[in-house]
Amino acid sequence: MFSFIYVEKRIEKHPRTLKILSQFPKSTVITCEHYGEIFNRHQQDFRIQKKDPCLILAEKHNKRIMPAPAEYGLNTTHNYYFSHMLNCIYDCRYCFLQGMFQSAHNVIFVNYEDFIEDIRALAVKTKEPMWFYSGYDCDSLALDPITEFSKSFIEEISSIDNAFLELRTKSTQVRKLLEMKPRNNVICAFSLSPAAVIKTLEHQTPSLAARLSAAKKLQLAGWPVALRLDPIVFIENFRAEYTFLIEQITEQLDFKTLHSITIGAFRLPKGFFKTVKNLYPEEPLFSSQFSSDNGQVSYVKSTEKKILDWCEESLKNHNNCPSIYRQTLN
């Protein structure tokens, strides 16, 4: 899977490093002083790297837990995100990581215990319910068989009374979760899109059927499952495609026990949009009619409202609809 693996010298003997490396006996391993030497090199070609990315094992020193962006969250007050990984093995055309990072290499920060300690300290200090989102700079579970992220974090964070953990994913890697007992304060949130969007924009991701099947297995095992319809893309036959998606959701999953659904129309920070559009000038999505307000490129407000109103209403037309939250900046 990875021809080259870079390892920071200071964590080359870390048990997690050794365990991850043992899964890639054929890879060439190169030591480095700091992951930034490889990850932050100037003038890297994201597209070329994406075809054969390297893996980088590193230690995260600071800024491990960050306040979540304003539109994140479920009308909750204390929202934070953390990233045990940077980048993703999938290749969604709209992914903001392509605008944020110059490199397509995958970084895993192996010092999970430091992240957990920071989360615990923050929760103890705040005392109120706190949400911690993983899967902001990566897909939470896509590399779970290699990283054992879920196994390492869930046990620890579920023991903190006022902490909630959301694992956001498009993957089907739920085996480790199914081996554990379900926790009420750990939510597995599946990002779903109609098959037409997956085919054209969410390259290398699992199919809709596979994602729904993974979500169903977790529901049957008693895990709280949430859905994220974000980004919603205004494609041709929008209503038909999204109506079919909602039907498949309600047929396959236990709608009434879903933890929550969030909806958000396609949007990107302005600078990231420009970079991503330059990477794919021929991509029809980026030629849509957008507006650019508050540093964000998004559908013009009236279109965005119509998209979200229609989705919300369509979901609520089904009995036992769970709570729906909009992910918008205003």
Interacting residues toward ligand SF4 by CB under 6 A: 88, 90-92, 95, 97, 138-139, 170, 205
Q: How far apart are CA 200 and CA 179, in angstroms?
A: 34
CB of 29 to ligand SF4, least distance (A): 25
Of 60 and 78, the one with the shorter C-beta distance to ligand SF4 is 60
CB of 71 to ligand SF4, least distance (A): 16
CB of 142 to ligand SF4, least distance (A): 7
CB of 141 to ligand SF4, least distance (A): 10
Side chain identity at residue 329, one-letter code: L
CB of 121 to ligand SF4, least distance (A): 27
Of 97 and 157, the one with the shorter C-beta distance to ligand SF4 is 97
CB of 25 to ligand SF4, least distance (A): 27
Q: How far apart are CA 3 and CA 136, in angstroms?
A: 26
Query: 70-94 burial string, b = 16+ CB within 10 Å, else e?
Result: ebbbbeeebbbbbbbbbbbbbbbbb
Q: Dump strand ranges (E) for 241-308.
A: 261-265, 267-269, 290-293, 296-299
Q: Which phi and psi (to 5°) does residue 236 adopt?
A: -60, 145
Instruction: Give the C-alpha distances (Å, rounded to integers) separating 86 from 139, 171, 291.
Output: 9, 16, 29
- Preceding omega of 281 cis (within 30 degrees of 0): no
Q: How far apart are CA 207 and CA 215, in angstroms?
A: 12
CB of 220 to ligand SF4, least distance (A): 24
Q: Checking DSSP bridges between strand 78-82 and strand 65-67, what pairing results, if any?
A: antiparallel
Of 92 and 107, the one with the shorter C-beta distance to ligand SF4 is 92
Of 68 and 97, the one with the shorter C-beta distance to ligand SF4 is 97
How many H helices and E strands in the chain?
A: 13, 18
Q: Which phi and psi (to 5°) does residue 207 adopt?
A: -65, 165
Of 12 and 91, the one with the shorter C-beta distance to ligand SF4 is 91
273, burial (CB in 10 Å: exposed 0-12, middle 13-18, buried 19+): buried
Of 185 and 262, the one with the shorter C-beta distance to ligand SF4 is 262
Of 185 and 205, the one with the shorter C-beta distance to ligand SF4 is 205
Of 88 and 235, the one with the shorter C-beta distance to ligand SF4 is 88
CB of 143 to ligand SF4, least distance (A): 11
Report yes or no: 111 and 35 within 8 Å, Cβ to Cβ: no
